[in-house]
Each structure stands twice: as C-alpha cells, then as structure tokens.
Amino acid sequence: MSVNLLVDMNLSPDWVPILNDHGWPAIHWSAVGDTRASDRTIMEWAVKHGYTVFTHDLDFGTMLALTHATGPSGLQIRAQDI
C-alpha cells in the first residue's frame, strides 16, 4: 500500500524531491491548490484525493480529531529547522 503525501504550505517544496527519492510519493500544496487556501480546504482536498498531510502545523491533528474522520491521516514534523 502506498502512502501519498501532501506537503503543506508551511513546509518548503524542497521536501518533495527528498520524499520522492526515498519512495514516498509527494506533492506540495502549491502545485495543486491556492497558496492562500485555508487548512480546512487543504484537508478536504487531501480526503478527496487520498493524501496524508505532511505538515508543521498543529491544526491538522486537531481538525481530524474534532471531525472524528477516519482520514486522511497527518504526518507532523516538529523541529526548529524544518
């Protein structure tokens, strides 16, 4: 089973080739949506297209928990130098 990653706007597009090179299919939000889109819009797109959101933002986990949705999942990176 392949996990498709949608790299959030708060992370650099430079993540995409790194993830792809390591076998993780990834796209950056700026390649598929409005760069000013809300987190909710990004999450809705991810659900519709079967992507896991790769983010530095705490909102995605909260949104997923509050909606009791079964997906998409979120992969959250917490570091000072992202």
Query: Does residue 22 lie in a domain region?
Result: yes
82 domain residue, yes or no: no
In a domain, 48, yes or no: yes
| Strand, coil or helix: 61 | helix
pLDDT tens string 23-81: 999 999 999 999 999 988 998 899 899 999 999 776 766 667 667 766 667 766 666 66
Range of 47's domain? 4-76
Residue 53 lies in a domain: yes
Query: What is d(CA 34, CA 46) in angstroms, rounded to the nearest whole number?
Result: 14
Give how many domains the chain has, as a whole number.
1
Residues 6+ apart with CB under 8 A from 7: 13, 15, 16, 19, 26, 27, 28, 29, 54, 55
- Per-residue confidence (pLDDT) for residue 79, from 0 to 100: 62
Evaluate whether residue 81 is within a structural domain.
no
